[in-house]
A and B are shown apart, each in its own frame.
Chain A
């Protein structure tokens, strides 16, 4: 079956760095996405990785290892507004998104 695993909840301190991991097993692979979702809102796109390596975009970076079925989202210089759920999603061979359950990130001052 298809499976996406990520931690349920993480806590970090304002100004610090946090890494959210995601492992996956899917039928086919057409890329891995990270989305941010604030409570009561729809997800917003953060990053897309289809090749191995690190993609950096400002304070956020995303890494992918296809051979390991592994990705992480790295958030630097954490701000209070970064408190949200972070969803890992993999696009399978049918171009359908398979979603993880999301990681709730709590930022403390």
Chain B
């Protein structure tokens, strides 16, 4: 099946710094990528949907200036958490979908962010 990678898998940072998370589709072209956040013992929460070459669509309540999403190519999307605070500590998961198959999303392994 299709493979999606995320980097880094785990990151610890100081409050006030920015963290960039990369999401790559390794063997297919991802026309759409999704960014999710998951707090402990809760389900996935969609943060934003990004289409290659256009601005991301953010879900209600997600600050676009705080969570910067760039989908510059068909195989790479990045999520930058700007001025991170302890409450941003979470598990961030990306998924990718190709234009050929809208029913299937392939998930990355996730990035665990801890802000001190």
Q: How far, in angstroms, from A99 to B93 measured CA to CA in the complex?
A: 14
B19 to chain A, nearest CB (A): 18
B46/A96 in contact, CB under 8 A: yes
Q: How far is the CB of B51 from chain A (nearest CB, A)?
A: 12
Expressed in whole angstroms, the Cα–Cα distance for A48 and B103 within the complex equals 9
Query: By the criterion of a CB under 8 Å from any partner CB, how many residues of chain B are at the interface?
Result: 20
A69-109 vs B, CB cutoff 8 Å, 1 = contact: the mask equals 00000000000000000010001000111011110100000
Q: Given the complex, which residues of A lie within 8 Å of B105, measured CB to CB?
A: 97
Interface stretch among A17-25, A35-43, A51-59? A35-43
Which B positions have Cβ atoms within 8 angstroms of A?
34, 41-46, 49, 91, 93, 97, 102-105, 107-110, 112
Write the residues of chain A forming the contact surface with B, with a CB cutoff of 8 angstroms.
30-31, 40-45, 48, 50, 87, 91, 95-97, 99-102, 104
